[in-house]
């Protein structure tokens, strides 16, 4: 059986069409299937639309979050409720073309356990988004060793992989990274991103920034080691400067040196603050994990699992 996981946030005008296309594509495969839809606390009519869909289609089950917990939480919720032998995660806005599913499924049948859809091009995006995405993936690669450039959340995961991902206890997740971290036999398929049919991206810049911080901190502690590295550099500098100052003093050449003092104060001050901030980010993550609140709360269910 195949499970398709769709996270939905304010997609009242889109979701019916997406579900219809997904159903059509999978029906042609002749496989048994289920569609798991997670309503990530939509504020529009999405939930009513979903209830309606679930009433009419026996394969659909829908879960509603008690508020907006974010796409990452929605994906995890979808995966933990999916029962299929393979799970396909995809966006509900048709920016992940369902036409790719048959190809992904055929690779899975050949024995690949993770089939990832990789963006051939990033579609219509502002140059700022392009730049920040590419910077993000470069830093991510340096920090974690995983090259996620052009990766997407459109993936087919074998049951084994889903079980491993769902088993991970961390609260703040970065699905793309986790799906790479688990390993397994992998295959890439390529697609170009079509334009969004209705509405705008549901991701604000600030949400994306938070996701980037989660991604960096979940996959690397290098930034913390960087603090030590910076400290060592400063130590070397201060030994050199210290000797110079002493020599000047002994020889009686010592003069004002006001500029140097101010500059050193400013540089050291800002480096200290950056380092403290960096440590702070990790402490905040530890704090969030230690609180161990649930990743999400499901307030309503409908469809076959009710």
**What whole-number distance in Å separates Cα of residue 237 and Cα of residue 226?**
17
Least gap, CB of 80 to ligand UDP (angstroms): 15
Site for ligand UDP in 69-88 (CB under 6 A): 70-71, 74
* Among 85-93, 126-134, 152-160, 180-188, the segment contacting Mg ion (CB under 5 A): 85-93
Task: Count the alpha carbons within 13 Å of 292 in the hemisphere toward its beta carbon.
Answer: 3
Binding mask 171-210 for ligand UDP (x = CB under 6 A): ------------------------------xxx-------
* Among 70-78, 86-94, 100-108, 220-228, the segment contacting Mg ion (CB under 5 A): 86-94
Which of 18, 89, 95, 217 is the binder for Mg ion (CB under 5 A)?
95
As a dihedral over the C-alpha atoms of residue 235, residue 241, residue 247, residue 251, rounded to 10 degrees, the angle is -150
Task: Count the alpha carbons within 13 Å of 24 in the hemisphere toward its beta carbon.
Answer: 10
Least gap, CB of 295 to ligand UDP (angstroms): 13
Paired residues of 158 in beta bridges? 86
The DSSP symbol for 99 reads: G
Tell me the three state secondary structure of residue 63.
Answer: strand
- Non-local (6+) Cβ contacts of 237 within 8 A are none
Closest residue to Mg ion, judged by C-beta, is: 95
Which of 93, 113, 116, 158 is the binder for Mg ion (CB under 5 A)?
93
**What whole-number distance in Å separates Cα of residue 38 and Cα of residue 73?**
9
Which of 2, 11, 117, 295 is the binder for ligand UDP (CB under 6 A)?
11
Paired residues of 64 in beta bridges? 39, 300
Which of 91, 113, 116, 172 is the binder for ligand UDP (CB under 6 A)?
91
Select the binding partner of residue 34 from ligand UDP, Mg ion, none (C-beta < 5 to 8 A, by kind).
none
């Amino acid at each position: 059986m195949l499970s398709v996981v769709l996270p939905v946030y304010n997609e009242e005008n889109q979701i019916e069409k997406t579900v219809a296309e997904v159903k059509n594509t999978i029906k042609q495969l002749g496989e048994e299937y289920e569609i798991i839809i997670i309503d990530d606390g939509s504020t529009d009519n999405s939930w009513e639309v979903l209830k309606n869909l679930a009433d009419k289609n026996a394969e659909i089950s829908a879960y509603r979050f008690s508020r907006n917990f974010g796409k990452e939480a929605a994906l995890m919720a979808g995966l933990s409720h999916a029962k299929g032998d393979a799970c396909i995660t995809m966006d509900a806005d048709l920016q992940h073309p369902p036409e790719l599913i048959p190809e992904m499924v055929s690779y899975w049948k050949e024995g690949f356990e993770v089939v990832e859809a990789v963006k051939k091009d990033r579609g219509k995006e502002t140059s700022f988004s392009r730049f920040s995405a590419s910077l993000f993936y470069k830093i991510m690669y340096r920090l974690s060793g995983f090259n996620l450039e052009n990766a997407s959340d459109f993936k087919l995961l074998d049951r084994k992989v889903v079980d491993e991902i769902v088993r991970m206890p961390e609260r703040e997740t970065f699905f793309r990274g986790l799906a790479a971290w688990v390993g397994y036999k992998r295959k890439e398929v390529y697609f170009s991103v079509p334009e969004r049919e209705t509405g705008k991206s549901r991701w604000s810049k600030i949400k994306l920034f938070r996701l980037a911080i989660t991604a960096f901190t979940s996959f690397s502690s290098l930034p913390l080691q960087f603090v030590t590295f910076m400290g060592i550099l400063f130590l070397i500098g201060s030994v050199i400067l210290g000797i110079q100052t002493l020599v000047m003093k002994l020889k009686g050449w010592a003069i004002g040196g006001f500029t140097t003092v101010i500059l050193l104060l400013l540089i050291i001050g800002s480096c200290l603050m950056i380092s403290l901030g960096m440590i702070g980010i990790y402490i905040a993550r530890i704090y969030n994990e230690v609180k161990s609140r649930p990743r999400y709360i499901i307030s309503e269910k409908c469809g076959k699992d009710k």
